[in-house]
Amino acid sequence: MAIIEVNAVHKAYAGRTVVDGVTFAVDEGEIFGILGPNGAGKTTTVECVEGLRIPDAGTVRVAGLDPVADHDRVTRLLGAQLQESELQAKLTVREALELYSAFHPDPADWRSLAERLGLHTSLTTRFAKLSGGQKQRLSIALALIGNPRAVVLDELTTGLDPRARRDTWQLIEEVRDSGVTVLLVTHFMEEAQRLCDRIAVIDKGRVVALDTPSGLIRKAGSSTVISFTPSQPLAPDDLAALPAAASVEQKGGRIVIDGTDETVNAVISLLARHRITAHQLRVSEATLDDAFLDLTETRTEAADTEQAA
């Protein structure tokens, strides 16, 4: 069952369209990603979900409620971590948790929340003295303090070092495992591929694809790259006959093949038949980053063709 429904939402500022007919639904219990480059319309879309902005057209529902007309009820169901938010510099972690608890009729136990998110040793630390990772942990805690059914996390790991980013990913998975639906906004491909059950790719205000991470990779036609240096030359005809090979290049004795899993198996069989050793063999699987580039470049090329026509 969908807990968040966005249907044909449009939003423009000063005549410039930022969100152009965005439609998607988030099922309860999943981590749903909104992925796209900076300026794609991701944050404006989720601000409509949160009731912070009113769509020019289209509808948004959170558990069947209108985030604007039923704002008070929606805020009890939906937690939010905004893309840009700051607390008063001298406010301690304890004071922030106590303050936000007071905003909700049935808040979570902030002490347990602090323990769960690794903030229990920083309760007396002022906000200005927290590290980037600690601030993000506090942002998650404040988003969860009202015991929401769903939470929006907008660009949560921007500016974090690799260790803090991966620690935050683990926290997000723990939040989902606790029964809270997560709507995750990000422009990090690795983050989306690691965390999300499904992803809506937004580019220039439109949803250009919606699927699981693996589904997006398959649909975009992204490939597997096989590269190696053979112990002796391979016949050009044998290389040309490799199944599903989009391209075969030889660079200074090294062979680079753009293909699929079927191509990988065929290369291994070919090497075995001719008793050729593959030195420095590398097989690079397609990633969500590859799929995203394929999806957005295809759309850009189509738009350019339409304009030229």
* Per-residue pLDDT tens over the stretch 237-249: 999 999 988 889 9
Query: Once rounded to an integer, what is the mean pLDDT over residues 112-128?
Result: 92
pLDDT reported for residue 298: 52
Q: Which regions of the chain does DSSP assign to beta strands (E)?
A: 2-13, 16-27, 31-35, 57-62, 78-81, 150-154, 181-186, 198-203, 206-211, 224-230, 247-251, 254-259, 278-284
CA pair distance 87, 126, nearest whole angstrom: 10
Query: Would you place residue 297 in the very low, low, confident or very high pLDDT band (cuts 50, 70, 90)?
Result: low
Q: How confident is the model at residue 220 (pLDDT cuts 50, 70, 90)?
A: low
For residue 159, pLDDT over 70 is answered with yes
pTM of the model: 0.79
Lowest mean pLDDT among 77-86, 191-200, 274-283: 77-86
First to last CA, the chain: 43
- pLDDT beyond 70 at 166: yes
Residue 294 pLDDT class (50, 70, 90 cuts)? confident
Provide the pLDDT for residue 73.
94
Q: Does pLDDT of 137 surpass 90?
A: no
